[in-house]
Protein backbone atom coordinates (compact mmCIF):
# COMPACT_ATOMS: atom_id res chain seq x y z
CA UNK A 1 0.00 0.00 0.00
CA UNK A 2 3.92 6.22 0.13
CA UNK A 3 4.82 9.76 -0.08
CA UNK A 4 4.82 13.28 -1.66
CA UNK A 5 1.07 13.77 -2.38
CA UNK A 6 1.26 11.28 -5.21
CA UNK A 7 4.66 12.49 -6.31
CA UNK A 8 7.41 10.10 -5.26
CA UNK A 9 6.30 7.25 -3.01
CA UNK A 10 9.12 5.84 -0.92
CA UNK A 11 10.31 2.36 -1.70
CA UNK A 12 9.38 1.13 1.79
CA UNK A 13 5.67 1.86 1.66
CA UNK A 14 2.35 0.56 2.88
CA UNK A 15 1.71 -2.52 1.01
CA UNK A 16 5.16 -3.88 1.36
CA UNK A 17 8.31 -2.42 2.79
CA UNK A 18 11.82 -3.28 3.78
CA UNK A 19 11.60 -5.31 6.97
CA UNK A 20 14.01 -4.36 9.70
CA UNK A 21 14.45 -5.48 13.25
CA UNK A 22 12.87 -3.23 15.78
CA UNK A 23 14.74 0.02 16.28
CA UNK A 24 15.69 1.11 19.77
CA UNK A 25 15.52 4.74 20.82
CA UNK A 26 19.11 5.89 21.41
CA UNK A 27 20.14 6.68 24.94
CA UNK A 28 22.68 9.48 25.13
CA UNK A 29 24.86 8.55 28.08
CA UNK A 30 25.31 11.39 30.53
CA UNK A 31 22.77 13.65 28.82
CA UNK A 32 19.52 11.77 29.13
CA UNK A 33 18.74 12.92 32.68
CA UNK A 34 19.19 16.54 31.68
CA UNK A 35 17.06 16.16 28.54
CA UNK A 36 14.21 14.46 30.38
CA UNK A 37 14.37 17.03 33.16
CA UNK A 38 14.13 19.93 30.74
CA UNK A 39 11.28 18.28 28.80
CA UNK A 40 9.31 17.76 31.98
CA UNK A 41 9.98 21.31 33.15
CA UNK A 42 8.63 22.94 30.00
CA UNK A 43 5.83 20.49 29.37
CA UNK A 44 7.09 18.76 26.21
CA UNK A 45 5.51 15.29 25.85
CA UNK A 46 7.94 12.40 25.61
CA UNK A 47 7.90 10.02 22.64
CA UNK A 48 7.04 7.03 24.84
CA UNK A 49 4.44 8.28 27.32
CA UNK A 50 3.77 6.20 30.41
CA UNK A 51 0.09 5.98 29.48
CA UNK A 52 -1.08 5.52 25.91
CA UNK A 53 -3.57 8.07 24.59
CA UNK A 54 -5.62 5.02 23.63
CA UNK A 55 -6.53 4.70 27.31
CA UNK A 56 -7.11 8.41 28.06
CA UNK A 57 -10.62 9.78 27.68
CA UNK A 58 -10.68 12.77 25.33
CA UNK A 59 -7.15 12.20 24.05
CA UNK A 60 -6.30 12.76 20.40
CA UNK A 61 -6.04 9.45 18.56
CA UNK A 62 -3.32 9.48 15.94
CA UNK A 63 -3.65 7.29 12.84
CA UNK A 64 -0.34 6.95 11.03
CA UNK A 65 0.67 5.95 7.52
CA UNK A 66 3.88 6.31 5.55
CA UNK A 67 4.71 9.98 5.26
CA UNK A 68 3.78 11.59 1.96
CA UNK A 69 1.02 9.11 1.07
CA UNK A 70 -1.57 11.63 -0.08
CA UNK A 71 -4.48 9.23 -0.58
CA UNK A 72 -4.19 7.55 2.80
CA UNK A 73 -3.72 10.94 4.44
CA UNK A 74 -6.89 12.16 2.72
CA UNK A 75 -8.79 9.16 4.07
CA UNK A 76 -7.61 9.72 7.64
CA UNK A 77 -8.34 13.45 7.42
CA UNK A 78 -11.86 12.71 6.14
CA UNK A 79 -12.51 10.42 9.09
CA UNK A 80 -11.05 13.03 11.43
CA UNK A 81 -13.24 15.88 10.24
CA UNK A 82 -16.43 14.22 9.04
CA UNK A 83 -16.84 10.96 10.95
CA UNK A 84 -14.91 10.87 14.23
CA UNK A 85 -17.00 13.62 15.91
CA UNK A 86 -20.08 11.39 15.53
CA UNK A 87 -18.37 8.87 17.80
CA UNK A 88 -17.06 11.38 20.33
CA UNK A 89 -13.38 11.05 19.46
CA UNK A 90 -10.67 13.29 18.03
CA UNK A 91 -8.55 11.79 15.25
CA UNK A 92 -5.36 13.18 13.75
CA UNK A 93 -3.11 12.07 10.89
CA UNK A 94 0.62 11.55 11.23
CA UNK A 95 3.11 10.46 8.57
CA UNK A 96 5.94 8.25 9.78
CA UNK A 97 9.09 7.26 7.96
CA UNK A 98 8.84 3.52 7.38
CA UNK A 99 7.00 0.29 8.07
CA UNK A 100 9.00 -0.60 11.15
CA UNK A 101 8.42 2.81 12.73
CA UNK A 102 4.68 2.73 12.01
CA UNK A 103 4.15 -0.75 13.38
CA UNK A 104 6.26 -0.15 16.48
CA UNK A 105 4.23 2.97 17.26
CA UNK A 106 0.94 1.09 16.82
CA UNK A 107 2.12 -1.87 18.89
CA UNK A 108 3.29 0.32 21.77
CA UNK A 109 0.23 2.58 21.73
CA UNK A 110 2.02 5.75 20.70
CA UNK A 111 -0.47 5.95 17.85
CA UNK A 112 -3.93 4.40 17.79
CA UNK A 113 -3.72 2.68 14.43
CA UNK A 114 -2.63 2.61 10.81
CA UNK A 115 -4.39 1.95 7.50
CA UNK A 116 -1.35 1.34 5.32
CA UNK A 117 -1.15 -2.47 5.14
CA UNK A 118 -3.05 -5.63 4.30
CA UNK A 119 -3.09 -8.76 6.47
CA UNK A 120 -0.37 -10.47 4.49
CA UNK A 121 2.10 -7.65 4.94
CA UNK A 122 1.17 -7.39 8.63
CA UNK A 123 1.95 -11.09 9.00
CA UNK A 124 5.42 -10.50 7.51
CA UNK A 125 5.99 -7.59 9.89
CA UNK A 126 4.98 -9.63 12.93
CA UNK A 127 7.14 -12.56 11.87
CA UNK A 128 10.13 -10.24 11.53
CA UNK A 129 9.36 -8.42 14.80
CA UNK A 130 7.98 -10.93 17.31
CA UNK A 131 7.82 -8.29 20.06
CA UNK A 132 5.17 -6.35 18.11
CA UNK A 133 1.57 -7.05 19.14
CA UNK A 134 -0.92 -5.86 16.51
CA UNK A 135 -4.29 -6.87 15.14
CA UNK A 136 -6.00 -6.24 11.80
CA UNK A 137 -9.26 -4.84 13.17
CA UNK A 138 -11.30 -4.26 9.99
CA UNK A 139 -10.90 -4.05 6.19
CA UNK A 140 -11.35 -0.45 5.05
CA UNK A 141 -10.49 -0.29 1.32
CA UNK A 142 -8.81 -2.02 -1.58
CA UNK A 143 -5.80 -0.49 -3.30
CA UNK A 144 -6.02 0.00 -7.02
CA UNK A 145 -3.76 -2.71 -8.47
CA UNK A 146 -3.37 -3.76 -12.06
CA UNK A 147 -1.24 -4.79 -15.01
CA UNK A 148 0.57 -1.85 -16.62
CA UNK A 149 2.31 -1.70 -19.98
CA UNK A 150 4.04 0.98 -22.01
CA UNK A 151 4.29 -1.33 -25.04
CA UNK A 152 1.03 -3.27 -25.25
CA UNK A 153 -2.58 -2.10 -25.21
CA UNK A 154 -4.19 -5.31 -23.93
CA UNK A 155 -3.37 -8.57 -22.22
CA UNK A 156 -3.84 -10.43 -25.52
CA UNK A 157 -1.02 -8.45 -27.12
CA UNK A 158 1.60 -9.51 -24.57
CA UNK A 159 4.01 -11.68 -26.61
CA UNK A 160 5.69 -15.00 -26.01
CA UNK A 161 8.76 -14.58 -23.83
CA UNK A 162 7.59 -11.24 -22.39
CA UNK A 163 9.31 -9.90 -19.30
CA UNK A 164 6.86 -9.05 -16.50
CA UNK A 165 7.78 -7.20 -13.31
CA UNK A 166 6.42 -8.26 -9.93
CA UNK A 167 7.06 -6.58 -6.61
CA UNK A 168 10.07 -7.83 -4.68
CA UNK A 169 8.40 -8.55 -1.32
CA UNK A 170 6.60 -11.91 -0.89
CA UNK A 171 3.11 -10.59 -0.09
CA UNK A 172 2.90 -8.29 -3.09
CA UNK A 173 4.67 -10.73 -5.40
CA UNK A 174 1.81 -13.08 -4.50
CA UNK A 175 -0.72 -10.44 -5.50
CA UNK A 176 1.08 -10.02 -8.82
CA UNK A 177 0.87 -13.75 -9.51
CA UNK A 178 -2.83 -13.71 -8.64
CA UNK A 179 -3.24 -10.86 -11.15
CA UNK A 180 -1.42 -12.74 -13.91
CA UNK A 181 -3.57 -15.80 -13.32
CA UNK A 182 -6.69 -13.62 -13.43
CA UNK A 183 -5.50 -12.25 -16.76
CA UNK A 184 -5.08 -15.77 -18.17
CA UNK A 185 -1.32 -15.42 -18.55
CA UNK A 186 -0.41 -18.18 -16.10
CA UNK A 187 -2.15 -20.78 -13.96
CA UNK A 188 -1.26 -21.61 -10.38
CA UNK A 189 -1.15 -25.08 -8.86
CA UNK A 190 -4.43 -26.36 -7.50
CA UNK A 191 -4.91 -25.36 -3.89
CA UNK A 192 -2.65 -22.29 -4.07
CA UNK A 193 -4.16 -19.33 -2.21
CA UNK A 194 -3.88 -15.80 -3.53
CA UNK A 195 -1.97 -14.54 -0.53
CA UNK A 196 0.76 -17.18 -0.43
CA UNK A 197 1.58 -17.79 -4.09
CA UNK A 198 5.21 -17.87 -5.17
CA UNK A 199 6.76 -18.48 -8.56
CA UNK A 200 7.24 -22.09 -7.48
CA UNK A 201 3.42 -22.38 -7.49
CA UNK A 202 3.12 -21.61 -11.21
CA UNK A 203 1.60 -24.66 -12.90
CA UNK A 204 1.51 -23.42 -16.50
CA UNK A 205 3.15 -20.50 -18.24
CA UNK A 206 2.01 -20.80 -21.87
CA UNK A 207 3.68 -17.59 -23.03
CA UNK A 208 7.00 -18.46 -21.35
CA UNK A 209 6.94 -15.26 -19.36
CA UNK A 210 10.03 -14.24 -17.43
CA UNK A 211 9.84 -12.24 -14.21
CA UNK A 212 11.78 -9.31 -12.80
CA UNK A 213 11.36 -8.39 -9.12
CA UNK A 214 11.49 -4.66 -8.38
CA UNK A 215 10.48 -2.43 -5.50
CA UNK A 216 7.61 0.04 -5.72
CA UNK A 217 9.23 3.15 -7.16
CA UNK A 218 11.71 1.23 -9.31
CA UNK A 219 8.97 -0.74 -11.01
CA UNK A 220 7.12 2.27 -12.37
CA UNK A 221 10.39 3.84 -13.55
CA UNK A 222 11.30 0.63 -15.38
CA UNK A 223 8.02 0.37 -17.29
CA UNK A 224 9.50 1.48 -20.67
CA UNK A 225 12.10 -1.28 -20.42
CA UNK A 226 9.81 -4.24 -19.67
CA UNK A 227 6.71 -5.65 -21.31
CA UNK A 228 4.34 -5.22 -18.37
CA UNK A 229 4.26 -4.86 -14.60
CA UNK A 230 1.84 -5.84 -11.85
CA UNK A 231 1.65 -2.86 -9.52
CA UNK A 232 -0.29 -0.37 -7.44
CA UNK A 233 -2.11 2.46 -9.17
CA UNK A 234 -0.79 5.10 -6.77
CA UNK A 235 2.83 4.52 -7.77
CA UNK A 236 2.11 4.83 -11.47
CA UNK A 237 0.06 7.99 -11.09
CA UNK A 238 2.82 9.37 -8.86
CA UNK A 239 5.27 8.74 -11.70
CA UNK A 240 2.96 10.63 -14.10
CA UNK A 241 2.08 7.46 -16.00
CA UNK A 242 -1.45 7.84 -17.38
CA UNK A 243 -4.16 5.47 -16.20
CA UNK A 244 -4.59 4.35 -19.84
CA UNK A 245 -1.35 2.36 -19.41
CA UNK A 246 -3.21 0.11 -16.96
CA UNK A 247 -4.41 -2.67 -19.27
CA UNK A 248 -6.04 -5.00 -16.73
CA UNK A 249 -7.34 -4.29 -13.22
CA UNK A 250 -9.82 -6.71 -11.62
CA UNK A 251 -10.99 -6.26 -8.04
CA UNK A 252 -8.38 -7.63 -5.65
CA UNK A 253 -9.37 -10.49 -3.34
CA UNK A 254 -10.09 -9.98 0.35
CA UNK A 255 -6.55 -11.00 1.35
CA UNK A 256 -5.27 -7.75 -0.13
CA UNK A 257 -7.73 -5.34 1.49
CA UNK A 258 -6.23 -2.43 3.41
CA UNK A 259 -6.81 -2.95 7.11
CA UNK A 260 -7.25 -0.64 10.07
CA UNK A 261 -4.48 -2.11 12.24
CA UNK A 262 -4.47 -1.50 16.00
CA UNK A 263 -2.29 -2.48 18.93
CA UNK A 264 -3.58 -5.76 20.35
CA UNK A 265 -3.13 -4.53 23.92
CA UNK A 266 -5.58 -1.68 23.26
CA UNK A 267 -8.33 -3.55 21.44
CA UNK A 268 -10.67 -3.31 24.43
CA UNK A 269 -10.16 0.40 25.13
CA UNK A 270 -13.17 2.65 24.54
CA UNK A 271 -11.12 4.97 22.34
CA UNK A 272 -9.98 2.23 20.00
CA UNK A 273 -13.45 0.69 19.82
CA UNK A 274 -14.81 4.07 18.74
CA UNK A 275 -11.96 4.46 16.25
CA UNK A 276 -12.96 1.17 14.61
CA UNK A 277 -16.58 2.33 14.48
CA UNK A 278 -15.52 5.57 12.80
CA UNK A 279 -13.44 3.87 10.11
CA UNK A 280 -16.18 1.34 9.38
CA UNK A 281 -18.90 3.98 9.15
CA UNK A 282 -20.74 3.85 5.76
CA UNK A 283 -19.67 7.43 5.06
CA UNK A 284 -16.11 6.19 4.59
CA UNK A 285 -17.13 3.90 1.74
CA UNK A 286 -19.04 6.75 0.08
CA UNK A 287 -15.94 8.94 0.37
CA UNK A 288 -13.78 6.25 -1.24
CA UNK A 289 -16.22 5.87 -4.11
CA UNK A 290 -16.60 9.56 -4.93
CA UNK A 291 -13.83 11.80 -3.67
CA UNK A 292 -11.24 12.81 -6.33
CA UNK A 293 -8.38 12.66 -3.82
CA UNK A 294 -8.69 8.89 -3.50
CA UNK A 295 -10.88 7.71 -6.38
CA UNK A 296 -9.20 4.93 -8.33
CA UNK A 297 -6.37 4.66 -5.80
CA UNK A 298 -8.21 3.56 -2.66
CA UNK A 299 -11.29 1.61 -3.73
CA UNK A 300 -14.43 0.88 -1.70
CA UNK A 301 -14.21 -2.44 0.06
CA UNK A 302 -17.24 -3.78 -1.83
CA UNK A 303 -16.73 -1.76 -4.97
pLDDT classification of 281: cutoffs 50, 70, 90 = very high
Q: At residue 148, does pLDDT exceed 80?
A: yes
Give the residue-averaged pLDDT of 154-182.
96
Q: At residue 170, does pLDDT exceed 50?
A: yes
Please give the Cα distance from 18 to 135 (Å, whole number).
Answer: 20
Topology match between the domains 32-143+255-300 and 145-251: yes
Torsion-angle region of residue 240: left (phi > 0), alpha (psi -120 to 50) or beta? left
List b or e across 52-63, with b for residues whose CB sees 16 or more CB atoms inside 10 angstroms.
bbbeeeebebbb
Q: Of 30-34, 168-172, 284-288, 291-295, which has the strongest mean pLDDT? A: 284-288
Superfamily in which the 145-251 domain is placed by CATH:
Periplasmic binding protein-like II (3.40.190.10)
Interval 75-107: pLDDT, tens: 999 999 999 999 999 999 999 999 999 999 999
CATH architecture observed for domain 32-143+255-300: 3-Layer(aba) Sandwich (3.40)
Please give the Cα distance from 129 to 268 (Å, whole number).
Answer: 23
Contact indicator for 66, 143 with CB cutoff of 8 Å: no
pLDDT classification of 49: cutoffs 50, 70, 90 = low
The pLDDT of residue 43: 35
- Domain ranges across the chain: 32-143+255-300, 145-251
Show Cβ contacts of residue 207 under 8 Å, excluding neighbours closer than 6 positions.
Answer: 158, 159, 160, 161, 162, 185
Amino acid sequence: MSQDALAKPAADDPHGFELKKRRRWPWIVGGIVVVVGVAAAIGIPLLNPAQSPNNVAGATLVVATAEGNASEQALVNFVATEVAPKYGITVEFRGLSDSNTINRAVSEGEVAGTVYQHKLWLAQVLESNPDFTETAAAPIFRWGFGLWSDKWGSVDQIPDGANISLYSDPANEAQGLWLLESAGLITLKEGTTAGTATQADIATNPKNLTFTLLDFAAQSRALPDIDAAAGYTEYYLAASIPIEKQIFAPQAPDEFAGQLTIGSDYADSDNVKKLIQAFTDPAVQEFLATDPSVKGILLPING
